[in-house]
A and B are shown apart, each in its own frame.
Chain A
Amino acid sequence: MNKYSRLIVYTLGGTLFISSFIGMIVYGYKTFYIEEEVGSSDNYRYHFALVAEEIDNEYWRLIEKGARKIAAEHDIYLEYVGPLKADNDQLLKLLDRMVSVKVDGIITQGVEGQRFVDLVLKGVERGIPIVTVDTDVKSSVRKVYVGTDNFYAGQLAGETVIANTTGEQYVGIVTGRFDAINQQERLEGFKDAIQETERIQIVGIRESNITQVGAAQATYSLLKEYPAINVLVGLSALDGIGMVEGLREIAPNKDVYLTAFDILPETLNLIQREKIDATIAQYPEKMGQVAIEAMINLQQSDLLESEIFTQTIVVEKENSDAFLQGERR
């Protein structure tokens, strides 16, 4: 008995000692060990800035995604900045700051007005190449525009309406912002396309402030003012979704031909469910990629062309599957 109890006491004592010793070592390590600060030695070849219209906009995030992909391949640090809500003054301020910060190149949305032209001039004078994406300002000294041919995109929308409708058509247009050049160009293109077709006429234009709620409200007020409207055309990314919403509010059973812009997943979804009849697909990722590539080339020498257009196509129910899958990918 004595031998057994002694053995048990020894074992318990040994276990206590070993476990507390191990605990002491482990917690001593956790308490006292301080990791060296491992700052990532950011040594990039170039430092580019991408100034977006709105920082958390899905469309702009796609551009960023494409840009980042190419930037990573070429060891480039890409600083993505933009106003929290679409705001030209804010954007111009950010642009100015990026010029002051002396980045190696700026990719920005074009903004209407003299101030943008001045800022681009200031930047280029200080040796910073500036590339416009999505929206161009032809009067500025930007090195190159990369993006959709917005006029052509507008024309595509107009042609789609012509091809898919018969009889008198009263068109209501929801545009992102009146002061956005890309929106203006698309509108011009649309008008240009339907100019020859007398049975189609535009009855009203509303601004959505590139938000979904804005688009719904615009649709609502358009239909309230002009109940005859049987074609709705959205010119910015979220307009299509907002228009469907607005239409459901005011005239759920009315048969309206709807064209939207861009291929956000929700838009494609609505096309599949036949809520939207057609949308004009842009390739924002491609825009980002091409813009960075152009910017890399600009570091060495000026480019020959002043506009690089990315593809634009009409997406209807028949060809929407490929895009949905593409999105998922």
Chain B
Amino acid sequence: MKTIRGKLIVYFFVFVLLFQVTAISIFVSSTELIDKYDVSFQRFLLLNSISQKSNELYAFTKIYVIEPEDENALAYFAKKMQLATDKEKLADTFGYIETIKVKNYINLIDTFMHESELTIGFVLKGDIEKYTDHLEEVRIAAGYIQEAALELIDVELTAYQSFYVDLQQRKGYFFTFIIFLFFTTIALAVFFALWFANGITSPLNKLSRAAKEVAKGDLIGKPVDIQSNDELRVLGDAFNHMRSNIHGLVQEIKDQSELDQLLKEMELKHLQNQINPHFLFNTLNTISQMAYLEDAHATSGLIDSVAAILRHSLGEIDSHVTLKDEVTIVGDYFRIQQTRFSERIQFVTEIDETCLSIEIPRLTLQPLVENAFIHGIEEREEGGVIAITVRQTAKNVIVEVKDNGEGIELDKIEDLLTLAAVRDDHVGHSTGIGLTNVIRRLQLFYQTTYVVEIESEKGQWTTVRLLIPKMIGGEKDENCNR
């Protein structure tokens, strides 16, 4: 039953068995009935044969009495032997039916043969009186044999009559049997056909329906459920497996392409920004040196910072840098902003130095800080604080950017984290990279959505927290512990 072929074999076997049993039954019963008939007929033949022979034996006895010659004696004895042989057959032929009647019959034959022997004996002795008496006895006994035979035939015929009636009845039963057999086989055939067809077509229907869905591009439909236990189930399972695989691959491709698109976008912006950055960069260096030579050390430092940020942002966007580099850039950015806003803002850093070697995507931390600056505290008259904390847990390196600015509304946070409004305007960003871009890049880079936490209280403070896993793809980043 494990395969369709097995099922088919079982179905056919049931039918073949049914017909075989019927055929064998017909054969066996008809053979037995014919045997019965045959036995009955044999009995008739035997009785007839004995009657004839006893008559002939009487005739031979009479001939011998009239002409006592050796030739006639031989004929007599030959006939007597034949009769004795037939008599022996009686018991076998009749078995134990009508034992008394058959016994009587056999005894009659015995008496008959005995009397005929006596007759022959007295003829040999020449005792005329006795042999005529015994010849008469022989004649009478022969008559009795005929009568007894007729009675036996009568009994036999009576039995035969009931046999015949039985045959007629069986004929009627046979007809009814055939009708029932007909209905049984039809019902069985319909049942098997429906069952078998259902067993094949319903899984096939399910499969084809699912295949159509797949063709339409729906890869996340319900898995195909096939109840049968044959090849179709294997087919269904394989289909389900294949579909979920395709779904995973398509998802991967989509993610990949999105990442590529984001990167391309950034690269495009980057190129736009590259119109004359080298010139600018070189000029800034020259200005810095000039300022230094003119003893304007503060100005020189400031210009250096600007140059550092510029250089950092000019680097390949999809390359990784260490967290240390990112922190350094943020330091440069702070210095510039500090110079610009002096007492209005304050930067606080609290950094676990052991974690700075971990690699992160370029330009992730600076946009966060800038974001905190622009949306958090730029508007404030004074007392703005931006704090950066780098610490670690067992699994993650945690980078927190905290400001005491406006705060972000809760639904906005949701939108940011789920990337609902992808295209927000990033006003005033120096690198042109917004918060959403950072979050998305981090998610794609680390292949997890849980990489950024944002907490905020309206009008009080905002914390953006990056959870950078120490392990990427199962490979532990050793640098962190060094």
Partners in one complex: yes
Interface residues of A (CB under 8 A from B): 13, 16-17, 20-21, 23-24, 27-28, 30-34, 37, 39-44, 47, 77, 79, 96-97, 100-103
Is B1 part of the binding interface, using a Cβ–Cβ cutoff of 8 Å?
A: no
Interface of B is mostly: helix
**Contact (Cβ within 8 A) A23 B107:** no
- A27-B177, A34-B29 given; A102·B111 CB < 8 A: yes
**Contact (Cβ within 8 A) B99 A42:** yes
A34 CB contact (under 8 Å) in B33, B99, B100, B140: B33
Complex Cα–Cα for A34 and B35 (A): 12
Closest Cβ of chain A to B16, distance in Å, is: 16
Chain A residue at smallest Cβ distance from B22: A28
Could you say which of B184-192, B322-330, B394-402, B426-434 contacts chain A? B184-192
12 contacts between A and B (CB under 8 A): A13-B187, A23-B180, A24-B184, A30-B177, A31-B25, A31-B174, A39-B98, A42-B96, A100-B111, A100-B140, A101-B108, A102-B111
**Contact (Cβ within 8 A) B96 A31:** no
3 residue pairs, one from A and one from B, having the closest CB atoms: A20-B183, A27-B177, A24-B180
**Contact (Cβ within 8 A) B144 A97:** yes
**Contact (Cβ within 8 A) B110 A39:** no
Is B197 part of the binding interface, using a Cβ–Cβ cutoff of 8 Å?
A: no
Complex Cα–Cα for A102 and B28 (A): 42
Closest Cβ of chain B to A286, distance in Å, is: 26
Chain A residue at smallest Cβ distance from B110: A102
**Contact (Cβ within 8 A) A17 B191:** yes
**Contact (Cβ within 8 A) B177 A28:** yes
Complex Cα–Cα for A102 and B174 (A): 47
Task: Collect the chain B residues with CB atoms within 8 Å of residue A42's CB.
Answer: 96, 99-100
Complex Cα–Cα for A41 and B108 (A): 21
Complex Cα–Cα for A32 and B104 (A): 35
**Contact (Cβ within 8 A) B103 A47:** yes
* B139-167 near A? 1/0 per residue, CB < 8 Å: 01100100110000000000000000000
* B89-122 near A? 1/0 per residue, CB < 8 Å: 0000001111110011001101110000000000
**Contact (Cβ within 8 A) B184 A17:** yes
**Contact (Cβ within 8 A) B183 A16:** yes
Is B181 part of the binding interface, using a Cβ–Cβ cutoff of 8 Å?
A: yes
Is B292 part of the binding interface, using a Cβ–Cβ cutoff of 8 Å?
A: no
Query: Known pairs A28-B181, A31-B174, A34-B29. 4 more at Cβ < 8 A?
Result: A20-B183, A40-B96, A42-B96, A100-B108
**Contact (Cβ within 8 A) B97 A33:** no
Task: Collect the chain B residues with CB atoms within 8 Å of residue A17's CB.
Answer: 183-184, 187-188, 191
- A31-B29, A32-B29, A42-B100 given; A100·B176 CB < 8 A: no
Task: Collect the chain B residues with CB atoms within 8 Å of residue A47's CB.
Answer: 100, 103
**Contact (Cβ within 8 A) A16 B187:** yes
Task: Collect the chain B residues with CB atoms within 8 Å of residue A101's CB.
Answer: 104, 107-108, 111, 144, 148
Task: Collect the chain A residues with CB atoms within 8 Å of residue B188's CB.
Answer: 17
Complex Cα–Cα for A30 and B170 (A): 7
Task: Collect the chain B residues with CB atoms within 8 Å of residue A103's CB.
Answer: 104
Task: Collect the chain A residues with CB atoms within 8 Å of residue B176's CB.
Answer: 23, 27
**Contact (Cβ within 8 A) A27 B140:** no
Complex Cα–Cα for A24 and B25 (A): 13
Determine which residue in B110, B183, B188 has the highest number of CB atoms from chain A within 10 A of its CB, and name it.
Answer: B183
- A20-B184, A24-B181 given; A31·B99 CB < 8 A: no
**Contact (Cβ within 8 A) B144 A13:** no
Task: Collect the chain B residues with CB atoms within 8 Å of residue A21's CB.
Answer: 180, 184, 187
**Contact (Cβ within 8 A) B173 A31:** yes
* B186-216 near A? 1/0 per residue, CB < 8 Å: 0110110000000000000000000000000
Closest Cβ of chain B to A104, distance in Å, is: 11
Task: Collect the chain B residues with CB atoms within 8 Å of residue A34's CB.
Answer: 29, 32-33, 36
Task: Collect the chain B residues with CB atoms within 8 Å of residue A13's CB.
Answer: 187, 190-191
- A31-B174, A96-B140, A100-B144 given; A37·B97 CB < 8 A: yes
Closest Cβ of chain B to A90, distance in Å, is: 12
Chain A residue at smallest Cβ distance from B188: A17
**Contact (Cβ within 8 A) B173 A100:** no
Closest Cβ of chain A to B196, distance in Å, is: 15
B147 CB contact (under 8 Å) in A30, A97, A102: A97
Chain A residue at smallest Cβ distance from B147: A97
Closest Cβ of chain A to B176, distance in Å, is: 5
**Contact (Cβ within 8 A) A39 B95:** yes
Is B128 part of the binding interface, using a Cβ–Cβ cutoff of 8 Å?
A: no
Chain B residue at smallest Cβ distance from A99: B111
Task: Collect the chain A residues with CB atoms within 8 Å of residue B190's CB.
Answer: 13
Task: Collect the chain A residues with CB atoms within 8 Å of residue B184's CB.
Answer: 17, 20-21, 24
Chain B residue at smallest Cβ distance from A35: B166
Complex Cα–Cα for A37 and B33 (A): 12
**Contact (Cβ within 8 A) B173 A30:** yes
Is B26 part of the binding interface, using a Cβ–Cβ cutoff of 8 Å?
A: yes
Chain B residue at smallest Cβ distance from A42: B99
Chain A residue at smallest Cβ distance from B187: A17
Closest Cβ of chain A to B418, distance in Å, is: 45
* B12-43 near A? 1/0 per residue, CB < 8 Å: 00000000001001101100110010000000
Chain A residue at smallest Cβ distance from B105: A101
Chain B residue at smallest Cβ distance from A79: B100
Complex Cα–Cα for A33 and B173 (A): 11
